[in-house]
Amino acid sequence: MFGPIRGPWPDASWKGWWGTTRPYHVPVFILTHHARPPVEMEGKTTFNFRNRRIHEALDRARDAANGKDVRIGGGANTIRQYLRAGLVDELHIAIAPDSVGWWRAAV
C-alpha cells in the first residue's frame, strides 16, 4: 500500500502516494522484503520499512502506539498472516467499487 514498487527499492525518491503530508499522523510500519531507511514526513508520519516477521512489526507498532490501538492494513496476504497468527482482535472490511469495471461500463 505504500507504493507501486515491487522488489528492491531503485532509489529513495519514491515517498508514497500522498505528497509531503500523509493522512496517518502516526508512525507506520511497512512489511517488505527489501529494507529501506525510514522516511520522515510532515504531520508526524514516519514510514518504517520492516523486513522482519509480522510479530516483530506488530511489536514495534505497539511500542510506538504507547497503549493506543494499532491498525493493520494491507493486502489480503498481509491480513491473512495476522489472522492465522491470532493477532487480530477486531476486523473492519471496507468494500470499494471496481473503478476499472465502472470505467469500462461507462464507455
CA 62 to CA 94: how far, in whole Å?
23
For residue 42 the three cell numbers come to 510532515
Model confidence pLDDT, tens digit, residues 59-98: 999 999 999 999 998 888 889 999 999 999 998 887 777 6
**pLDDT tier for residue 107 given thresholds of 50, 70 and 90:** very low
pLDDT in tens, 15-60: 777 777 767 888 889 888 888 889 888 888 888 887 778 999 999 9
Domains and CATH numbers, the chain: 27-106 (3.40.430.10)
Cα–Cα distance, 39 to 12 (Å, whole number) = 9
DSSP 21: B
What does the block give as the cell for 26?
A: 502516526
- In the sheet with 27-31, reading across from the earlier edge strand, the strands are 27-31, 46-50, 39-40
What is the value of pTM for the model shown?
0.73
- What are the grid coordinates assigned to 47, written together? 514510514
Which residues contact residue 8 at a Cβ distance below 8 angstroms, ignoring those fewer than 6 apart?
34
